[in-house]
A and B are shown apart, each in its own frame.
Chain A
Amino acid sequence: MADIRGAAVRFEKVQKSYDGENLVVKDLNLDIAPGEFLTMLGPSGSGKTTCLMMLAGFEPATHGEIFLNDKPINNVPPYKRGIGMVFQNYALFPHMSVAENLAFPLQIRKMNKTDQQAKVKRALEMVELGAFGNRRPAQLSGGQQQRVAVARALVFDPELVLMDEPLGALDKQLREQMQYEIKHIHENLGVSVVYVTHDQTEALTMSDRVAVFEDGVIQQLSPPDVLYESPKNSFVAQFIGENNKLHGKVTKIAKGVCEVTLDDGTKLKAEPVNVSAVGDPTTISLRPERVEFDNPDKLDNTVKGKILEILYLGDHLRVVMSVAGNPEFIVKVRNRGIKRPLEEGKTYSIGWSAEDCKALDFSG
């Protein structure tokens, strides 16, 4: 990836420290392709927002270089970078009307009045707020303000738009709707988007690629499906989606498959991801929806487990089991009516295939 020519953004060996003692961003290398929607995902304090601020120019990089369209921008002030930005709290100017907010970047660029008005009108229509131009931001709902903020970041046709947790302040339903709208706008305009969030669903649904941040380092940079299906380590597996953890030791290893003996003696076949030798401690990661109650004997792994609790969630049942010494083992069962009712307190055989079962680095 690191050798893409003509990357829209390139981070090269970027490091950042605020206090001279701790590195917030450690050796960041990242290329973002033109037109790509890249999400920086991670818990708070993982360094993702700092990366965004360095890209926008509000924080200087302590070391390394950032390139925009192959030009180094470390010494370019923010107002010369031409990057659109959407903030978590929208940052709409309270003393200007919606239309004035949108016209602001155009005025700065000394565009003539007629063109300004046309652009503002088009931008407002794009976010379906054509009739709200004369309102003050405070007179709009949160979702409307968010749309204005997006429109303002795009109105001056930047090639790159940064979004810093833009949907964090909205309620769930509105958030989902806005995810769709932003994705839609991105597809229509073809701009590059760097999107920062701590919400994995948002990252999975919107992005071309997701960079998972933890402790100032990108743990994995992959398209959403790869991220979900093939997590590179237990942090990513844990952070993305739901996940069952089983601890054990590698007892056999071959190409593409290994045997892991769990702490209670159960032996499982798994796909080795970052274990290399017999005796390595490992944590097995298994998605709850990959566990089968039907014909478990035909699958690579078969174990017995006792059902502790069943939660009815409409489209699926969420079954909490005690499996191989793990009392929080989750199984998601597709709701197929009342064909085979499961009962709490009874023991069942369950199974899964070796490729759904990843042997990752050990994490307590």
Chain B
Amino acid sequence: MAGLYCPVCNPKGENYMKLKTILMSTAAAGLMLGGTSVAVNSASHGMAPCEGCTDSLTVVSWGGAYQNSQVKAYSEPYAEATGVKFVWDESSNEAVAKLRAMNEAGNVTWDLVDVVASDAIRLCDEGLAMEIDADNDLADAPDGTKASEDFGDLMVSGCFVPQIVYSTTFGYRTDVADWGGKKPESICDVFDLENFPGKRSLEKRPINNMEWALICDGVAKDEVYDVLATPEGVQKALDKLGTIKDSVVWWSAGAETPQLLADGEVVMGSTYNGRLFSVIEEQKQPVAMLWDAQVFDLDGWIVPAGLPADRLARVKHFLKYATDTQRLADQAKYISYGPARKSSAPLVGKHAELGIDMAPHMPTDPNNAKNTFLYNYEWWADNRDDLDAKFQAWLAQ
């Protein structure tokens, strides 16, 4: 049990570095095979019959394009094969609080919940999510590689089955006259009001912003969290953010930055890379990606603790199907997030509607991932409350 519990236990240790290596290699494989990936017929995927299972599933996700990609890649083919009825609940952004409330009331109505990794860790900490035995509960890779190895260190919590790697990064408008033809190339251009005047949008929370501020204030990447752990480091980060505070529009929903960019309200802004993809490729707005110092994060499934047997059996049956190699690769047809399995990367193909290669739009693509930053879950779990109080106090001043 204990061994399964948390693979990324030491924030600065070897596991942390390993995670990064794996992400890189996943991306490299994607690049090599991306254009020529072989489509595997999903119907040929042998599915074991589900015995003693309920015939409906309540799945919680984020709504919008992301949920749509899950519906297309996972639930529609599964429903076609099994006749199971899916009920979608768009509550992922408040999943932790709702699960806790359901748990206190003794009536958990959700079967499967999509959450970001940090929330999964918290749900696991609170005993609200069920631990998952990766090798038994999840499908092996087509070449027989065990699931635990295929997901590798991305399984950051014993309760968490990762689906995608996404990144928080910057997009900028390509038509800003004041910039005199210059284009931002480094994360530190966000802090450079002289060369790149205009409003920026940043998320209304300390995570990522503090790291970027320290990096641009001359702190080495691998020392960021050490510095941030000291009061002086926090002040240093806030001071750096303070240099652009008057030019920042703070967002709290991921859809805000794309809209602000499209309206010309801001000239650059941070958001999830998939949101920027849709602004650039689907809405054809004059916006480009600044991949520099993008911060990787994970999104995946947890199963609420204490489900009755019939519901649990159905969830496990679906989970095994929905997280297999092909399904994760299929999801990338609909949204530009990288599949969390190593074996899925070579199968990433073209966008389902636009027909463009998806591999170059993945955050893990080597061209995009020249300079990346890894979000330290453990460190933030310890310091989020404290830093958030300081950050909000700073914002309110």
User: Are A and B close enough to touch in the complex, i.e. CB under 8 Å?
Assistant: no
List chain B positions with a Cβ less than 8 A from chain A.
Answer: none
